[in-house]
Amino acid sequence: MRDGQSATETVSRLDPQMAAAMDKMAEIAAALPPMPADPSLAELRRQMVEEKRFWNDDAPNLHEVVNASLPGLIREVPVRVYRPAPGDDLPGILYFHGGGWVKGSLDTHDRIMRLLALASGAVVLGVDYALAPEHRFPEPYEESIVVVEGVAGAADKLGIDPGRLAVSGDSAGANLALAAAIDLRDRRPGLIRAAALFYGVFDSDFDTASYREFGDGRFGLSREEMIYFWKKYARTPDDLTDPRAAPARAALNRLMPIFLAAAELDVLRDDTMGLAERLGSAGVPFELKEYPGVCHGFLGLTRMVDKAVNAIEDAAAFLVRHL
């Protein structure tokens, strides 16, 4: 909570389950060793893993979960394969995790991917893409494209149907998923059949209505944090407006059907709303759902927040219709 913002006003905007989850997150953070004033990247990444541990506990069992890798441009890219049921011709969904391009991992988003696999009946392939700033734009973007093509090329080995591939992701992961889909629309038409994007970073405009309203961070992600993430991801200021890094600025015509999920109390809400408007103008079929009373990152709170489960199920139903 910030100056001028009463506790009553803040709580009144939150879904009750979201409010309880925020209390739980504060409790978890308070129990961890204090972070230094200027934490290192390693400390930030380790802290996120510890903060997400509770939220990934008690994860549902699947038919099979295996770690694999696919060739990338600069390294072997770790991929985790979530198979909900037997079969060698299931649809495939490549999932790119959030974390501002700087942190996050397959472990921090494990429960999300398990639930998406169960709800969709598809094999979910979690992509552990290269993180910034060790790997700045365009390396994560280029790696994401190579991995999608690699999954299609290794479909027989992975036990998926190469004719039924989708991409998905949250936050920075949604950015990479959309950017890869735009590139492959032109070079490999029809390769990606659908996309499901959760509260993505689609532009670098820090002066939208949602940035102005929620940028102080009282509901979690702040404007200051987003500027920090962009500075770690971009090489130069020009990268912030490169359509490959800010895919809402790209030509969006002829894209595959897209499911968009927005959190009401999120600085990035209007990234999704703006993208939806541009998709509509471009004639792209899409479904937009805004989940009231929840904050950025709510998808990972399925142990306490029903709307997180709903969002995964809504996205899964959309993907099933289009795969």
Provide the β-strand partners of residue 259.
Answer: 196, 287
Rounded Cα gap, residues 4 and 56, in angstroms: 35
Angle 227-16-23 from CA coordinates, rounded to 5°: 60
- Please compute, for residue 111, the number of CA atoms within 13 A of its CA located in the half-sphere on the CB side: 20
Per-residue model confidence (pLDDT) at position 6: 46
Per-residue model confidence (pLDDT) at position 11: 62
At residue 10 the predicted structure's pLDDT band, cuts being 50, 70 and 90, is: low
Confirm whether 30 is domain-assigned.
no
Domain containing residue 201: CATH number: 3.40.50.1820
Confirm whether 295 is domain-assigned.
yes
The average pLDDT across 278-285 equals 98
Catalytic residue numbers read 171, 266, 296
Which residues touch 155 (CB under 8 Å, ≥6 apart)? 92, 161, 162
Per-residue model confidence (pLDDT) at position 9: 57
The average pLDDT across 196-217 equals 98
Per-residue model confidence (pLDDT) at position 1: 37
| Residue the block writes with tokens 């390693």 | 42
Q: Which residue intervals of the chain are DSSP H helices?
A: 7-13, 16-31, 41-56, 110-120, 139-153, 155-158, 172-187, 209-214, 223-233, 269-281, 306-322
Confirm whether 298 is domain-assigned.
yes
At residue 254 the predicted structure's pLDDT band, cuts being 50, 70 and 90, is: very high
Classified as helix, coil or strand, 302 is coil
Give the DSSP letter of residue 164.
E
Question: Residue 149's domain spans which residues?
Answer: 40-322
Confirm whether 25 is domain-assigned.
no
Contact criterion met (CB below 8 Å) for 289 and 299: no
Rounded Cα gap, residues 147 and 127, in angstroms: 8
At residue 8 the predicted structure's pLDDT band, cuts being 50, 70 and 90, is: low
Confirm whether 8 is domain-assigned.
no
Confirm whether 199 is domain-assigned.
yes
Per residue in 17-76, pLDDT (tens digit) is 999 999 999 999 999 999 888 899 999 999 999 999 999 999 999 999 999 999 999 999
Rounded Cα gap, residues 265 and 98, in angstroms: 17
Q: How many domains does the chain have?
A: 1
Confirm whether 22 is domain-assigned.
no
The mean predicted confidence, pLDDT, of the chain is 96
Q: Which of 7-16, 135-144, 309-318 has the lowest mean pLDDT?
A: 7-16
Confirm whether 5 is domain-assigned.
no
How is 185-248 classified by DSSP, letter by letter?
HHHSTTSEEEEEEES------TTSHHHHHHTT-TTS--HHHHHHHHHHH-SSGGGGG-TTTSGG
Q: Token pair for residue 161?
A: 């149907």
The average pLDDT across 266-290 equals 98
